[in-house]
Chains A and B, each alone.
Chain A
Amino acid sequence: MSRILSGTKQHAFVTTCALLVVIVFLRLICQAQGGVPSLPEKSQETDSDRFDMLVRDDFFAGLMGDKARLERGMKTCERLLATNPKHAEALVWHGGGLIARASQTYRTADSATGEKLWSQGIDEMNRAVNFEPNNIGVRIGRAATLIGLAQSGWDPHDSQAHALLESAVTDYEQVYEWQKPRFSEMRIHSRGELLFGLASGWSILGNQRKATEYLNLIVDECDRTPYESEARRWLKKNPPFVVQHDCIGCHVSAN
C-alpha cells in the first residue's frame, strides 16, 4: 500500500531505476556541454578538449550492464585524478560511477559496502562542485543525480538529504540563470530536463508554488513538445503533488 499511496500522494515507487538517474545525469552533462551556446568557463572548448567525450561511451555502456567498460571509464577518471585530484569533471563522473557501483553492491545485500560507496560518490560530487563552482557540466552532473535519487525515494525527515536536495535545486536554478539569455536556442531536451528537474526538486521539497511556476515555464518554453503535454498533465493535479519525470529521449543502447 505504501507504494501506491506514495505514488499518488508523495512519491512514485521507481523500483529498479537503479542506474537510470546516473545515465540521465551523464546525458545531461553531454547535452549541456554540447548544446549550450555559451558556458561560464568552457565556452572555448572544442569536442576534442571535452573530458566527457573521453569517458562517456564507456560510462554509458557500463551503466547499461557492461561492467568492464564501467571499470575502464572509472580507471580513466582515476588516472586523471591521480595527477590532478581537483579535476572536477573527472570527480563528478567518478562520483556517479561510485553510485552505480553502490547500487550493484546493494543488490548483493552488502549494505555496509553499498553505504560506503554511496557516501563516497556523493562526497566526490560535492567536492567537484566546490573545486569548480562555475563549471556548468559539473553542477548539472551533481544536481541531476541528486534530484534523480530523490525521485527514486525520499525521507522528508532526513535533514542531510534535505540539504543535499536543496543545494541541487539551487544549483539547477543557477544553471538556468546562466542559460537564460539563450535558453530558447538550446536543445529541447536540455530545456525540458532542466525545467522538469526544477519542478520535481521543488515539489519533493514541498514547495508547490515553485514547482507550479516551473511547470508553467515548461508549458511556455517547450511549446508543442512532449514536455509541454506532461507539464499540463501535472498542472491538472490537485496539490500537493510530487512531480515524477522520466528523462525523455535518454534511451541508451547496450550495444
Chain B
Amino acid sequence: MIGKLLILTVLISSLFVSTEDGALAVARKARDRGDTEAMRKVISAGEARAAETSKFEDYIRLALLEDWMCEALEANNKQNLIKGTAESGVAAAEKAVRLNPKSSQAHQLLADLLGQLAPNVMGGGMKYGQRSTDEADKAIALDPKNPDAYITRGISYLYTPAAFGGNKAKALEFFSKAVQLDPQLDTARIWLALYHLDAEKFDEARREINEALRLNPDRVFAGFVSDQIKAGKKGT
C-alpha cells in the first residue's frame, strides 16, 4: 500500500514538474516573441503561487518571469511599464536571495533586474549600478559555471565607465566564457554581437548575431540587434 502511494506521489510530482516546465517554456516563447499578454498570465499565476507557498523555487521563477517580461515589454516599446515590472522582479529576487542566500541564480537575477531598473529611474545608475555589479560577482562566486552570471557581469563591464571599473576586454572575456559554458545559449551570442557592435567590428557582430538567430530564430531581441548591426554598418 505504502509502495503504491509512493509511486503515485512520484507520478503526480513528475506531472507537476512537467506542467511547470511547460509553463516556463510557454513563457520563454512569449518573451522571445514579445507577447506581453501571455507573459502577464504566467506572471499572475506565478505571483499567486509564490504568495501561497513562500517557497524559494516559486520566487526565483517569478523573478525570472519578470526579467523576461522586461524584454517582452521592450520589444513592444512599452517602456513605461518596465520600471514597475523590474521593481516587482527585484522584490521577488530579493525574497529568493533571503530564502536561499547561496543560490547563484537568485543573485544573478537580482543583478539583472537591478540592471533593468537602473535606466528607468532618475539617477538609476547611481542608485542601483554598483549593487547590480556586486550581485553578479556573488552569483559567479557561488557558481563559477553559471553562464547567465557571466553574461550579467559582462554587461556591467561593457557599460561601466573605465574610471569606475568598466572594462571592455573583460566584457568580451565574460561573454565568451558564457558561450564556452553553454554553447547553445543564444543570449550570450547576442551580447557578444553587441560587444562587437560597440567596437564597430561589424563582421564579427554579424557572425555572432547570425549564430544567435540560428539558435533561436524567434527572438525579437536578436532581430533588433541584427537591425542595429545593419544600420551601424551602413553608417560607416
Interface residues of A (CB under 8 A from B): 1-8, 10-21, 99, 102-103, 106-109, 114, 118, 149-158, 161, 164-165, 236, 246, 251-252
A15 touches B127 (CB 8 A): no
A19 touches B164 (CB 8 A): yes
Interface centre among A12, A154, A155 (most CB of B within 10 A): A155
Interchain CA distance A151-B118 in the complex, whole Å: 11
B134 touches A13 (CB 8 A): no
Which residues 204-236 in B have Cβ within 8 Å of A in the complex?
221, 224-225, 228, 235
Known contacts A3-B116, A4-B225, A107-B134, A14 near B123 by CB under 8 Å: no
B122 touches A2 (CB 8 A): no
Least Cβ–Cβ distance between A125 and chain B, in angstroms:
13
Least Cβ–Cβ distance between A243 and chain B, in angstroms:
15
Residue of B nearest to A64 (CB): B163
Question: Is B126 part of the binding interface, using a Cβ–Cβ cutoff of 8 Å?
Answer: yes
Interface centre among B86, B130, B155, B165 (most CB of A within 10 A): B130
B126 touches A18 (CB 8 A): yes
Interface footprint category on B? 35 or more
Interchain CA distance A151-B155 in the complex, whole Å: 18
A10 touches B163 (CB 8 A): no
B75 touches A3 (CB 8 A): no
The stretch that binds A, out of B6-14, B37-45, B48-56, B76-84, is: B76-84
Least Cβ–Cβ distance between A104 and chain B, in angstroms:
8
Residue of A nearest to B94 (CB): A109
Interchain CA distance A236-B235 in the complex, whole Å: 9
Interchain CA distance A107-B110 in the complex, whole Å: 13
Interchain CA distance A5-B74 in the complex, whole Å: 7
Which residues 130-156 in B have Cβ within 8 Å of A in the complex?
130-134, 155-156
B156 touches A15 (CB 8 A): yes
Starting from the known contacts A13-B125, A16-B132, A109-B94, 10 additional A-B residue pairs (CB-CB under 8 Å) come to A4-B224, A4-B225, A13-B115, A15-B155, A16-B161, A16-B166, A106-B126, A106-B127, A107-B134, A150-B122
| Cross-interface CB contact of B160 among A10, A16, A155, cutoff 8 Å | A16
* A residues near B194, Cβ cutoff 8 Å: 4
Least Cβ–Cβ distance between B4 and chain A, in angstroms:
49
* B residues near A99, Cβ cutoff 8 Å: 123, 126
Interchain CA distance A85-B3 in the complex, whole Å: 79
Interchain CA distance A17-B133 in the complex, whole Å: 11
Residue of B nearest to A162 (CB): B122
A17 touches B235 (CB 8 A): no
* B residues near A252, Cβ cutoff 8 Å: 163
B164 touches A2 (CB 8 A): no
Q: List 8 A-B contacts (CB under 8 A).
A: A2-B70, A8-B228, A15-B160, A16-B166, A17-B164, A20-B161, A103-B126, A153-B123
Interchain CA distance A209-B235 in the complex, whole Å: 22
Interchain CA distance A159-B201 in the complex, whole Å: 40
A2 touches B120 (CB 8 A): yes
A16 touches B80 (CB 8 A): no
Residue of A nearest to B73 (CB): A2
Residue of B nearest to A145 (CB): B123
Interchain CA distance A157-B228 in the complex, whole Å: 27
| Cross-interface CB contact of A1 among B75, B124, B126, B156, cutoff 8 Å | B75
Interchain CA distance A165-B221 in the complex, whole Å: 31
* A residues near B70, Cβ cutoff 8 Å: 1-2
B71 touches A152 (CB 8 A): no
Interchain CA distance A103-B130 in the complex, whole Å: 8
Residue of B nearest to A108 (CB): B131
| Cross-interface CB contact of B118 among A13, A20, A107, A236, cutoff 8 Å | A13
A16 touches B129 (CB 8 A): yes
| Cross-interface CB contact of B164 among A10, A20, A157, A164, cutoff 8 Å | A20
* A residues near B228, Cβ cutoff 8 Å: 8
Question: Is B121 part of the binding interface, using a Cβ–Cβ cutoff of 8 Å?
Answer: yes
Question: Is B159 part of the binding interface, using a Cβ–Cβ cutoff of 8 Å?
Answer: yes
Least Cβ–Cβ distance between B194 and chain A, in angstroms:
6
Known contacts A16-B164, A18-B164, A3 near B122 by CB under 8 Å: no
Known contacts A2-B82, A5-B224, A152-B118, A16 near B125 by CB under 8 Å: yes
| Cross-interface CB contact of A153 among B71, B118, B156, B161, cutoff 8 Å | B118
* B residues near A20, Cβ cutoff 8 Å: 161, 163-164
A107 touches B235 (CB 8 A): no
A153 touches B134 (CB 8 A): no
Interchain CA distance A246-B166 in the complex, whole Å: 13
Least Cβ–Cβ distance between A168 and chain B, in angstroms:
11
